[in-house]
């Protein structure tokens, strides 16, 4: 086998809390990451070196590109000769859906499979964390309680059926900007953790709105009030829970009923890019 095609699924943050700024200037977080069935597509071919191309005009093909960095990691750590990578981009940048990290994880998984190199997942997660904090999650997928700077994973058994309406405004919000505008209050304590995985496993969809939140919403909504309006409209259209995903501009609503989700989609789709999708559940790592 000389070539391979792989989906790089997005994620939503069902909950996200920023705990405190660490001595290394990174922020300690806790979050519930949920893989969803909305993806970029990556096509890989064996090559003598790393070559990258994409349909996305805003992505470079230099050494800062996460897909290129992922391929270089495989060369350095696992002696893979090279990969010719084509990325069909669908997940918007700056939407809080983790598209870049998911693409890098897909290159790692598919590149190893293409060259028939078998690396235990825990070792792979440790190596990939050097490229980006979210990449370990995308190597495992499913549902995880995430802590540290995003690289510490604990699988969560949350097999709840629901429908996701994803609203994707044409707005890029950078992670750097979001953290810069975040107000970390003095009440934040290092031991004050809200979303521990063992607690979330017993939740029902109706519990999400009272148990979950995203700490980035106040700052993002203050600068982009149209996003707060979208969240409010999702609740008006019958969502059991709605939130900003990560620090980006993507807003999701969760619906128990597929019919209600489709009706809500009809409400939004004339003015916004939106799509219906579902959570992706996997066996625990």
Residues that are catalytic? 11, 134
- Total residue count of the chain as it appears in this document: 285
How far is 153 from 69, CA to CA, in rounded Å?
22
How far is 54 from 221, CA to CA, in rounded Å?
32
- Residue that the structure tokens 């809390």 belong to: 17
CB atoms within 10 A of CB 5: 12
Structure-token pair, residue 264:
């809500």
How far is 142 from 93, CA to CA, in rounded Å?
21
Q: How many CA atoms lie within 13 A of 45 on its CB side?
A: 8
Helices assigned H by DSSP within 19-149: 66-78, 99-114, 121-128, 135-140
**DSSP-assigned letter for residue 206:** G
Beta-sheet strands, E only, within 181-271: 241-244, 251-255
Phi (first) and psi of residue 181, to 5 degrees: -95, 5
* Beta carbons of 21 and 262 less than 8 angstroms apart: no
């Amino acid at each position: 086998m000389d070539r391979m095609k792989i989906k790089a699924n997005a994620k939503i943050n069902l909950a996200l809390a920023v705990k405190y700024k660490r001595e290394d200037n990174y922020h300690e977080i806790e979050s519930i990451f949920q893989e969803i069935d909305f993806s970029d597509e990556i096509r890989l071919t064996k090559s003598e070196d790393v070559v990258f191309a994409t349909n996305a005009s805003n992505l470079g093909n230099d050494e800062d590109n996460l897909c290129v960095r992922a391929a270089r990691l495989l060369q350095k750590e696992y002696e893979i000769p090279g990969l010719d990578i084509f990325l069909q981009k669908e997940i918007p940048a700056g939407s809080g859906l983790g598209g870049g990290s998911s693409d890098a994880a897909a290159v790692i998984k598919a590149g190893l499979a293409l060259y028939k190199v078998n690396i235990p997942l825990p070792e792979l997660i440790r190596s990939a964390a050097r490229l980006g904090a979210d990449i370990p999650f995308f190597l495992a997928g499913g549902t995880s309680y995430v802590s540290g700077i995003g690289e510490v994973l604990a699988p969560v058994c949350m097999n709840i059926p629901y429908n996701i309406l994803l609203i994707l405004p044409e707005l890029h919000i950078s992670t750097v900007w979001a953290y810069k505008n975040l107000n970390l209050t003095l009440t934040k304590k290092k031991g004050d953790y809200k979303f521990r995985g063992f607690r979330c496993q017993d939740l029902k969809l109706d519990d999400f709105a009272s148990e979950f939140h995203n700490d980035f919403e106040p700052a993002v909504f203050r600068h982009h009030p149209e996003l707060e309006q979208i969240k409010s409209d999702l609740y008006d259209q019958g969502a059991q829970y709605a939130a900003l995903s990560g620090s980006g501009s993507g807003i999701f609503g969760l619906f128990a009923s597929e019919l209600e989700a489709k009706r809500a989609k009809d409400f939004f789709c004339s003015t916004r890019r939106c799509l219906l999708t579902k959570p992706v559940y996997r066996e625990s790592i």
